Amino acid sequence: MNDLSPLRAVLGARVPALETGAAGQRRGCPLSELRDRLRRAGLRPTRQRLSLGWLLFGKGDRHLTAEMLYDEAMRAKVPVSLATVYNTLHQFTEAGLLRQLALDGSKAYFDTNPSEHHHFFLEEEGQVLDMPDCGITVDSLPQAPEGMEIAGVEVIVRLRRRTGRA
């Protein structure tokens, strides 16, 4: 019996491959840690949340849309609707487990690394990349309206391929 059989029971499907580190040790979010993580965030660890959480967090830091996660769930034979995927992503975001990025007017991206950091957005590919920590500073922020405070500043650098010589 391998150590992933509890996940198969919860997911009711095949378990996605886990990333491994340089020394070959397994990285990712084992089921018990995921349950605890959801509980600490104030979320009940339902079968669907565990299934989607495993797909989200079991592959390291990444950026994806609801449609991308739904496609992964369908390939893994996780029985969820697209509406459930959207609801779960928004619940995880409200609980601080994900960060929602508004990069493209037609879809929202979700970042499994909720810490403050900046992004590149490859417009043609619709791909989001974490920006290396290069000491970006934003000077001269506007005064927040009365009764409000600035909660954070996010820099998104949009990239596209050059179409000729500059």
For 69-109, the pLDDT digits (tens) are: 999 999 999 999 999 999 999 999 999 999 998 776 777 88
For residue 70, being part of any structural domain is answered with yes
For residue 130, being part of any structural domain is answered with yes
For residue 36, being part of any structural domain is answered with yes
Task: Quote the number of domains for the chain.
Answer: 1
For residue 7, being part of any structural domain is answered with no
Write out the residue range of the structural domain in which residue 109 sits: 28-143+150-157
Q: Is 33 exposed, middle or buried (0-12, 13-18, 19+ CB in 10 A)?
A: exposed
More confident residue, 71 or 117: 71
More confident residue, 11 or 103: 103
CATH code (residue 67)? 1.10.10.10
Residue 143 has pLDDT above 70, yes or no: yes
For residue 105, being part of any structural domain is answered with yes
Q: Measuring CA to CA, how many Å separate 150 from each of 38, 84, 88, 97?
A: 28, 31, 27, 21
Cβ of 41: how many Cβ atoms within 10 Å?
A: 14
Q: Taking residues 50-72, what's their average pLDDT?
A: 93
**Rounded CA separation 113/63 (Å):** 9
For residue 43, being part of any structural domain is answered with yes
For residue 14, being part of any structural domain is answered with no
For residue 12, being part of any structural domain is answered with no
Q: Give pLDDT, residue 166.
A: 55
In terms of pTM, does the model score above 0.85? no
